[in-house]
């Protein structure tokens, strides 16, 4: 028998501050490209669903670099849930390893629900929870 009397059971409430970020925000796609900047997609990459979308960013001087999008940004672009103006506003971040990629905004990363407005309901459970093939007769 398990002795629960010595076990700590209370929650320890404190202010949630989130975890530390290891990403450095370099600025938006538009601000990094600067005046006269352009972006382009590579057709074979854009159509290859096994890869994340790569964006060719060219600055006003004509120099360019290819930056990958996060999976979430890649999916939004391919599903036409994001347009070029929205892509231009997204941040390019640098990882600790020195890799750059275009990411969705981090604002709104926490979705909150007021429990005062929710009536708690137990999920419906059935007594049959094993697939028939696992039960020997």
pLDDT digits (tens, 9 = 90+) for 78-107: 999 999 999 999 999 999 899 999 999 876
Task: Provide the whole-model pTM.
Answer: 0.65
> What letters, b where the CB count within 10 A reaches 16 and e where it falls short, cover 39-65?
beeeeebeeeeeebbbbebbeeeeeee
Domain segments of the chain as ranges = 24-103
| CA separation for the pair 117, 18 (Å, rounded) | 25
State residue 8's pLDDT score: 61
Query: Where is 135: in which H helix or E strand?
Result: none
State residue 62's pLDDT score: 96
Site of tokens 């604002």: 107
Using DSSP's 3-state secondary structure scheme, residue 68 falls into strand
How many percent of the chain have pLDDT more than 70? 77
pLDDT digits (tens, 9 = 90+) for 50-84: 999 999 999 999 999 999 999 999 999 999 999 99
String of DSSP letters for 23-54: -EEEEEHHHHH-TT-EEEE-HHHHT-TTS--E
Q: Which CATH architecture group holds 24-103?
A: Beta Barrel (2.40)
Query: Where is 101: in which H helix or E strand?
Result: strand 100-103
């Amino acid at each position: 028998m398990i002795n629960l009397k010595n076990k700590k059971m209370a929650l320890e409430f404190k202010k949630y501050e989130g975890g530390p970020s290891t990403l450095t925000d370099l600025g938006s796609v538009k601000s990094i490209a600067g005046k006269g900047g352009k972006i382009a997609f590579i057709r074979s990459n854009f159509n290859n669903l096994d890869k994340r979308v790569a964006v060719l960013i060219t600055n006003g001087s004509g120099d360019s670099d290819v930056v990958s999008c996060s999976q979430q940004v890649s999916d939004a672009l391919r599903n036409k849930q994001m347009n070029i103006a929205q892509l231009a506003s997204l941040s390019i971040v640098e990882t600790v390893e020195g890799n750059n990629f275009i990411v969705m905004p981090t604002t709104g990363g926490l979705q909150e629900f007021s429990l005062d407005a929710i009536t708690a309901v137990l999920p419906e459970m059935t007594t049959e929870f094993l697939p028939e093939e696992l039960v020997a007769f």
